[in-house]
A and B are shown apart, each in its own frame.
Chain A
Amino acid sequence: EAGVAQSPRYKIIEKRQSVAFWCNPISGHATLYWYQQILGQGPKLLIQFQNNGVVDDSQLPKDRFSAERLKGVDSTLKIQPAKLEDSAVYLCASSADISSYNSPLHFGNGTRLTVT
């Protein structure tokens, strides 16, 4: 099966600019996650979708970050305006259903964002 697709692979922007990331999950996977991984740290969940509804966005900085999953398939994550501390790898993951034990996460290769 095709894996989780993410684009772009790399992005360099200046602070206060906007950026958007795209994710296409594994076909049929109902749950989609966006994680932020700062260098030297483990992934931190930003937002979790079940189909096209938000399950958890408690750690999403909503003043600058937004995400949507229209039609319950692809998803986009946007940052506007970007700050230096947003420099990180943004990972998208999907699972067949909401239970992480029964349905392990499959990660994409991420988008490496550098904010200068």
Chain B
Amino acid sequence: RKEVEQDPGPFNVPEGATVAFNCTYSNSASQSFFWYRQDCRKEPKLLMSVYSSGNEDGRFTAQLNRASQYISLLIRDSKLSDSATYLCVVIPSGTYKYIFGTGTRLKVLA
């Protein structure tokens, strides 16, 4: 089993839709989690950290489910500009090394 797994998509959604992605991880002792966004042929950019109690930043909500070992990203009122690949990152306990998922591709359609 991969350390971090994401559904590659693509998720094709209309503008204004709500879409959610999950990211599962295998190391139950993982300590830190992030979501990054990557546009085609560009560098990954930090979207948001994921906190134990869940956190929101505008239209984006991140949640952590330690019991089931996954993190999620919810995007409300999707915009065309949200089209990108979303990468989850897990940092296992005892290390500061990022483990990246392979990414979930989102296409928001007009």
Partners in one complex: no
